[in-house]
Amino acid sequence: MPFFIRRLNQMGKYIYFFEGLSIWVGRAFGWCILILTLSVAYEVFVRYVLNAPTVWAFDMMVQMYGALFLMAGPYALAQDAHVRGDVIYRLFSPRLQAKIDLTLYILFFFPGILALAYFGYEIASDSWRYKEVSWNSPARIQIYFFKSLIPLAGGLLILQGVSECMRCILCIRDGKWIRRHEDVKETEANLILKKEEEERQRKALK
């Protein structure tokens, strides 16, 4: 029993390690947005102003968007930013929320993500074997590099899923959620937090 309790107490550092990894990867691939924006702007300019469209811009945009979509998944999970139907969920106690989350991770999340990692590896392996290129344009851009991101994203999602399960276990034990790594938030979320803080201060002064 003491060994089990000690392991529970050590979960926090693993949670923050996996969470930090997901956030770092998400930030790194966030630069795809800049590359995607510049690619679109360049293509629009040369196509409609110079009447000299490129043969590679479409493939570039597809691959940048695909890379961003795949690698943002672990980041969004680490920030609890995925869409959640929480109209009723948010009314539950933290312990009940954690029990629901843990059950759903085991029953639905991990089977799907394990399938993504397994079949993604097969897809990437085949793509590397015959050096797959894009058929969307005459440029024939190599795409096997980008298909490698499919199993990589699956692996990172598995690690972050393990982190979320450990977070649930600690919440079931302690009755409260541990804090997440702070990162940038949407303006709307910041305004909501600001209003909640102002409301707490008003109640404290009464």
pLDDT value of position 187: 55
Q: How far apart are CA 39 and CA 62, in angstroms?
A: 10
- The radius of gyration of the chain's CA atoms, rounded to the nearest angstrom, is 22
Q: Which DSSP symbol is given to 81?
A: -
Query: Is 34 a residue whose pLDDT tops 80?
Result: yes
pLDDT value of position 183: 66
How does pLDDT run across 77-96, given as a tens digit for each residue?
998 888 777 778 888 899 99
CA 155 to chain centre: 12
Of 120, 183, 123, 173, the C-alpha closest to 151 is: 120
The tally of domains found in the chain comes to: 1
pLDDT value of position 134: 81
Q: How far apart are CA 34 and CA 171, in angstroms?
A: 38
Query: Inter-axis angle of helices 2-29 and 57-78, to 10 degrees?
Result: 150
pLDDT value of position 3: 47
pLDDT value of position 55: 82
Average pLDDT over residues 92-112: 94
Neighbours of 20 (CB within 10 A): 13
**Domain span at 114:** 2-205
pLDDT band per the 50, 70, 90 thresholds, residue 1: very low
Torsion of CA 100, 105, 111, 113, to 10 degrees: 150
138 or 165, which is more confident? 165
